[in-house]
Amino acid sequence: MANERGKSVDTTFLSIDQAEKRGFLHRDYIAHCFRWSHVMKRMMEQKRYATARIMDIGCGRELPFAKTLYSSKMIPKQYIGIDAGQMLPDSVEAARKGKMGEVTTLYPHTLFCRDFVDNRCQGLEGNITDIVCFEVAEHVEPVMLKEMLDSMLRLIDPNMGRVWISTPCWDYKSCAANHVNEMTYAAFGGMLCETGFHIEDVHGTFASISDYKPHMSPQYLEVFNDLREYYDTNVLSTIFAPMFPAQSRNCLWELRHPRANELPQLDNGWAHVKDCQAPWGSSEHWKDMSR
């Protein structure tokens, strides 16, 4: 199974340069910016960035997160960028400026897979404090995604480690032409729990007004109507989405290792993938999502 472009691993990316040329930032890119700013906010807490060992899976051709860290003067202890595609020379140069360059290791044309972890990550298992994986999960088949999730769990610090994954929530109807497998909100949550992650939090990143508006309280609806006098639908889709993850078209998942004596989340808020409404994803191989 491949996407409409014939690819089982797709390296499409959103370009800020292209967006600026158009003179318009659509909701996808606005949401991308807010995702980065959310993680940056977390990095600021108790100066987490100063001791952070960051792995950016699917770091992109323009290396936006690395450049944001540098421009914000938040130099981590280590930054590892991995991408299946190429990285633009100008972006690589920008991401490696000053002290950021001393802590940065980049792997272009590299799949994040078991072989990569086994051969390139000696000494890192259990020591990575932060993994960022934005808009990657939907670009690979379920079998590869399961391998990626297992590897993330191996690498992340069991005590203080955090993993941030953003991916579309499939609506059983349509799937972007460049996406290999979009997954439903419930099934992806179950998949994360089956892997062994604890879902610390989940936020919608953008949502269609028609999907979340029926779930608004009167107080939210009043604020929505006031903001609609000024903002267009692209902005409104991102402002209210964090409060309605189950109704969103895309979500940001914050994950960690379970704590000792912590109740398992499966059947306690999240269901096993096999118990979710089928199909669980848009790929012909959607059944491979369950373990």
Q: Are strands 53-57 and 78-82 parallel, antiparallel or unpaired?
A: parallel
β-bridge mates for residue 156, sequence order: 128
Distances 132 to 106, 152, 156, 251 between C-alpha atoms, Å: 14, 10, 11, 13
Contact of 175 with 182, CB cutoff 8 Å: yes
Taking the C-alpha atoms of residue 254 and residue 39, their distance in angstroms, rounded to an integer, is: 10
Output 172-177 pairs: Cβ under 8 A, ≥24 positions apart. 172/279, 175/282, 176/138, 177/3, 177/4, 177/5
Beta-sheet strands, E only, within the chain: 53-57, 78-82, 104-107, 130-134, 162-168, 198-206, 250-256
pLDDT at 268: 85
Q: What pLDDT score was predicted for residue 34?
A: 93
What is the per-residue pLDDT across 122-180, written as a single tens digit (0 to 9) for each? 999 999 999 999 999 999 999 999 999 999 999 999 999 999 999 999 999 989 989 99
Q: Determine the pLDDT at residue 142.
A: 97
* pTM score of the predicted model: 0.91
Q: Please name the CATH architecture into which domain 16-277 falls.
A: 3-Layer(aba) Sandwich (3.40)
Domain ranges (residues) in the chain: 16-277
Q: What are phi and psi of 137, to 5 degrees?
A: -55, -35
pLDDT in tens, 12-30: 665 566 655 666 677 888 8
Q: Could you report the per-residue pLDDT of 72-110, keeping only the tens digit for each?
A: 999 999 999 999 999 999 999 988 999 999 999 999 999
Write the pLDDT tens digit of every residue in 206-237. 999 999 999 999 999 999 999 999 999 999 99
- The residue assigned the tokens 């932060």 is 130
Q: What is the DSSP letter of 249?
A: S
Tokens linked to 161: 């480690």
